[in-house]
């Protein structure tokens, strides 16, 4: 098996192991980061809705208190403003269209806002004080797994203007929603929650796109490194070693016209070339010494020399 092939097999094994290990770690990491990003966006939406509620309660609500005696305006309700603003945001920005925002309550005036079972569980956890100022998690739904972020809503003095008792509530509001629901709230009591939901598929899609780009980049870098290493290996080692091997093969077959092993580098390859050249010259010298004709010539010269000495 050729040296270059062996090298590539080892390199391929190392690269495959590195890609597998890196892919496993990267996939889990990008999933976590994608979920964290979605949670951050969901929390940003919740905080934005809270800001709208605060603005409505402090700037809009006081200006409509007089008008409510003659006509109930939903714009004075902080929940209505928050829901409308988030609805518009989801319509304007495609990134937020997958986000669902609700303000479910245990005892709402509008029954469309009544909390379902899992929402009521979250509100009750807030009421029991067993959770932090906000909570997040994942839940299974008929439409797939959903990520959610929730914050509690407490009854304020402004809320009690409409939700204390039916007798104290504005008649214009009671005329629209009735006197059965949405009353009996207590000051500073957790009565509802802000909940943002987004499908897990959104986070997974972000993770998949990031993972695909990362892995393609990683493979491209490794391929570039592999090709570069192959070129360097061929130029620095395989090419001179192959040439020296061919010259050594000619010497082993008795070729006297083999040139010296020349290497212009001063590294191990150059040292090996010099050693082979010296070995070739030593071998040629040894072969000449073992040549019968050369031995006979040396004996003749020796005999003549002896004769000359004897006659003298």
Say how many residues make up the chain: 312
**pLDDT in single tens digits along all 312 residues of the chain:** 577 888 889 889 999 999 999 999 999 999 888 888 888 888 888 998 999 999 998 888 888 888 888 888 888 888 889 999 888 888 887 777 888 999 999 999 988 899 999 999 999 999 988 667 888 888 888 878 888 999 999 998 888 888 999 999 999 999 988 999 999 999 999 999 999 998 888 888 888 988 999 999 999 999 999 999 988 888 777 777 777 777 777 767 666 666 666 666 666 777 777 777 777 677 767 766 766 655 455 445 445 444 443 444
Domain termination site, one of 176, 211, 246: 211
The total domain count for the chain is 2
On whether both 204 and 241 belong to a single domain, the answer is no
On whether both 96 and 60 belong to a single domain, the answer is yes
Sign of the Cα pseudo-torsion (87, 88, 91, 93, in order): negative
pTM, rounded to two decimals: 0.67
On whether both 106 and 20 belong to a single domain, the answer is yes
For residue 101, report the phi and psi dihedrals to the nearest 5 degrees.
-120, 130
Three-class HEC string of 202-230: HHHHHHHHHHHHHHHHHHHHHHHHHHHHH
Residue numbers of the domain that contains 282: 232-311
């Amino acid at each position: 098996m050729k040296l270059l092939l062996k090298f590539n097999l080892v390199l391929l094994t190392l690269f495959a192991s590195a890609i597998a290990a890196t892919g496993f770690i990267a996939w889990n990491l990008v999933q976590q980061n994608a979920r964290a990003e979605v949670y951050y966006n969901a929390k940003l939406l919740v905080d934005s809705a809270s800001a709208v509620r605060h603005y409505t309660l402090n700037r809009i609500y006081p200006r409509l208190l007089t008008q409510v005696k003659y006509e109930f305006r939903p714009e004075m309700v902080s929940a209505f403003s928050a829901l409308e603003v988030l609805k518009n945001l989801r319509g304007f920005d495609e990134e937020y269209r997958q986000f669902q925002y609700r303000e479910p309550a245990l005892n709402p005036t509008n029954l469309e806002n009544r909390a379902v079972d899992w929402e009521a569980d979250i509100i009750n956890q807030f009421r029991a004080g067993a959770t932090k100022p906000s909570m997040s998690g994942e839940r299974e739904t008929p439409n797939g797994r959903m990520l959610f972020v929730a914050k509690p809503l407490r009854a304020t003095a402004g809320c009690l203007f409409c939700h204390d008792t039916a007798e104290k509530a504005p008649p214009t509001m009671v005329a629209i929603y009735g006197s059965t629901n949405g009353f009996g709230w207590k000051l500073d009591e957790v009565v509802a929650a802000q909940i943002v939901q987004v499908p897990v598929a959104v986070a997974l899609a972000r993770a998949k796109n990031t993972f695909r780009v990362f892995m393609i980049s990683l493979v491209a870098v490794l391929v570039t490194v592999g090709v570069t290493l192959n070129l360097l290996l061929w130029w620095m080692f395989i090419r001179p070693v192959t040439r020296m091997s061919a010259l050594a093969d000619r010497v082993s077959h008795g070729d006297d016209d083999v040139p010296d092993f020349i290497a212009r580098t001063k590294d191990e390859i150059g040292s090996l070339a010099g050693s082979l050249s010296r070995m070739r010259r030593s071998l040629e010298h040894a072969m000449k010494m073992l040549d019968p004709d050369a031995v006979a010539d040396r004996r003749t010269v020796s005999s003549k020399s002896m004769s000359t000495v004897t006659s003298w």
